Amino acid sequence: MKHRRIKAGETGFSPVEMLVGVAISLLLLLGLGQVVLHQHRTLRMQEELGRMEDAGRFALFAMARSIRQAGFHPGASTDESAPYPADGSFQEGAFIGMGEAALPSRSTLALRYHGLRDGTQVNCLGVDVKAQGLQVEQWNWSQAALQCSTANNTQPLVPSVEDLQFALGIDQDGDGNVDATALAEAVDRWTRIASVHIYLRLVSQEDGLSDAPQAFQDAQGQSVLPKDRRLRRTFRTTVSLRQPLP
């Protein structure tokens, strides 16, 4: 086996030069890794914000559709148009209530209306109401999810819910206009509810998506700085009841 002779003036890499080359390569790999990690986190942020935006819009749409049905009755000429009776969670004549009487909460709202068989109504689960008579639905925040309950079924509809609060607009003098606003747990005249204000806050399932804690506004409009680095998205809307006051 022949070995190539190193001619005069020819030299290889010295140990110092090799170490410098390795160090430069490591720095380049480290920088590339940081870029990849940043891009991955940015992608996760965009995906999570998009998910929360879609979930929040769906939640507001579903709750508003359900609330607008509250108090519906077929017509003044039928027996079903009579004022609603007292029924545990509901006062006499009321079609909006707090839900389960044993569990009063500003995060729970119950409503009732008369069903039709003509396929024009859907309940809070998106299922056609195909039965006449009194229908009762309840919205609540439980196990970090927005849940809806009908007579025989309870389903979580939106996950990763951090807060849900209902504030009710009250028509105190019966002129059809809102004169005062109160949290559901403080309302004592459920027959005079004219509107429902919804506050919903969603939170990302994954922590560490932001570089620093992100402030948000609570239901009372106060700025809050959390201790984690999760993403949050708040949603608000006010739904006017279309049914006449009893």
pLDDT at 198 over 50: yes
Length of the chain: 246
CA distance 136 to 194: 18
Domain that holds residue 94: 38-240
In a domain? residue 153: yes
| Residues whose CB falls within 8 Å of the CB of residue 67, separated by 6 or more in sequence, listed in order | 96, 109, 111, 196, 239, 241
Instruction: Convert the pLDDT of each residue in 49-93 to its tens digit.
Output: 999 999 999 999 999 999 999 988 876 655 656 678 888 788 888
Q: Evaluate whether residue 6 is within a structural domain.
A: no
Q: Cα 200 vs. chain centroid, distance in angstroms?
A: 5
pTM of the complete model = 0.80
More confident residue, 22 or 67: 67
Residue 210's pLDDT band, with cuts at 50, 70 and 90, is confident
- Tell me the average pLDDT across 233-244: 86
End-to-end CA, the chain: 107
Tally of domains within the chain? 1
Q: Is residue 7 part of a domain?
A: no
DSSP E strands: which ranges in the chain? 96-97, 108-115, 133-142, 145-149, 154-159, 161-170, 180-183, 193-203, 216-217, 223-224, 232-240
Radius of gyration in angstroms for the set of CA atoms belonging to the chain, rounded to a whole number: 30
Res 246 pLDDT > 50: no
Query: Over pLDDT 70: what percentage of the chain?
Result: 80
* Residue 26, in any domain of the structure: no
The pLDDT-based confidence of 27 (bands split at 50, 70, 90) is confident
Whether residue 5 has pLDDT greater than 60: no
Which band of pLDDT confidence, cut at 50, 70 and 90, is reported for residue 34?
low
Q: Per residue in 83-136, pLDDT tens?
A: 788 887 888 888 998 877 555 678 999 999 988 877 788 999 988 887 778 899
Please report the pLDDT score of residue 81 as a whole number: 60
How far apart are alpha carbons 59 and 188 in whole angstroms? 27
Give the list of residues 6+ apart from residue 144 with CB closer than 8 angstroms, or none: 159, 160, 161, 162
Residue 138 vs residues 28, 62, 110, 150, 179: alpha-carbon distances, Å: 58, 12, 4, 7, 25
Q: Mean pLDDT score of the chain, rounded to an integer?
A: 83
Predicted local confidence at residue 10, as pLDDT: 56
* Residue 23 lies inside a defined structural domain of this protein: no
